[in-house]
Amino acid sequence: MSGPRAFFPKPPLSTWGPGVGLGLGGLLGAWGLFHPWVLLLAPLLLPFLRLPFALGLVFVLLRGLLFPVPEPPYGTRLEGVFTLHQGTILWQGHRLWVQHYPGLEDGRYRLRGYLAPPQGKRNPGGFDQRTWLLSRGIRGVFHVEQAEALAPLPDPRAPWRERLTAGLSPQVGEVVEGLVLGDKRGLEDAYPLFQKAGLAHLLAVSGQNVGYLAATLALLPLGRWRYLLALLLLPAYLWLAGPSPSLLRASLMAGLSLLGLFLGLGAAGVFQALGLALFLQLLLRPEALLGLGFQLSYLAVLGLALVLPALALPSGARGWLLGGLAASLAAQLPLI
């Protein structure tokens, strides 16, 4: 048997299962937190998806209602020493977005400024800062009037990243970091070339990277323990590359299948894994549903799952080439 499916046994589990119901229920619950009228659809779907759908709906809805993203006291003036990480600081249980021009690098700062609510759309179809920040669990903006750098923030991932690029030239090392970790900070000059060639998606970590990792470890002659090894390495890769929505979705889907293979249950079907991953992500943070990256990631996989199995592709190199083209089109189909 040739192709990537040879690495894993064919899943004996049903393609449609409780995971689909949990995922759709969680989706409706998270959506209902921001648009309550959609909850009217629940009675229509309940007879078809039954208990898993009801559980997903209730769990995610309760998670959002009982533990909402707190709203900071707007108008409060702040002054003190803060640790800035990825554009945010923590203050009294609130995660705040730091607004400063020019942007500040990660580190320790003495900051002074005031809190304000995020801005909504200024124009129809324009950028909605309020929704974007809420999708990241942020409801307040810290407008910095004065900033004094105190110390850089050490990155515990730096030694591992240096090992990845050891022995490579700086230019090649930056490309490798972009391909493996999705880090584009050193690709200011090269990134436009990737965009022009239509290859910018290679610099966004997602299921492709997780698939390479899992498939490589699945080749090891360790029996079912190879699946456990791959499962244990997924959190490490997630920590190293950063938990983007697409990478978290791919890691959850792969982790569920690897766990099933290790336990002798077989790999989860794609719809089953997709639904379970959706439920778990929304249970963790229902507001993540508002993120465009989150939506695109799940819609792309849904397109692949719906279209590719229906295609009769030839074997050999021609099948691989046509499969790649079909996959690209299928991933974009739900976005049309």
**Paired strand residues for 18:** none
Q: What is the pLDDT along the chain (336 residues), one digit of tens a residue?
A: 444 444 444 444 444 578 899 999 999 999 999 999 999 999 999 888 889 999 999 999 999 999 999 999 999 999 999 999 999 999 999 999 999 999 999 999 999 999 999 998 888 878 899 999 999 999 999 999 999 999 998 888 878 777 877 777 777 777 777 777 777 776 666 777 767 766 666 667 777 788 888 888 888 888 889 999 999 999 988 888 888 888 899 999 999 989 988 888 887 788 999 999 999 999 999 999 999 889 988 998 888 888 877 777 777 777 777 777 777 777 777 766
d(CA 171, CA 210): 24
Whole-model pTM? 0.85
Q: Which of 66, 63, 60 is nearest to 279 (CA)?
A: 60
So what's the pLDDT on residue 109? 96
Tokens of 277: 């991953």
d(CA 45, CA 25): 9
So what's the pLDDT on residue 5? 45
- At 264, the amino acid letter reads G
Sheet containing 107-116: order of strands: 77-84, 107-116, 140-152, 94-99, 88-91
d(CA 257, CA 207): 13
Give me the residue label for tokens 């923590």: 90
So what's the pLDDT on residue 208? 78
d(CA 61, CA 32): 8
So what's the pLDDT on residue 126? 84
Q: Which of 157, 62, 66 is nearest to 106 (CA)?
A: 157
Q: Which of 11, 10, 39 is nearest to 25 (CA)?
A: 39
d(CA 113, CA 115): 7
Map out the domains of the chain as residue ranges.
77-152
So what's the pLDDT on residue 188? 66
- 137, 72 Cβ separation under 8 angstroms: no
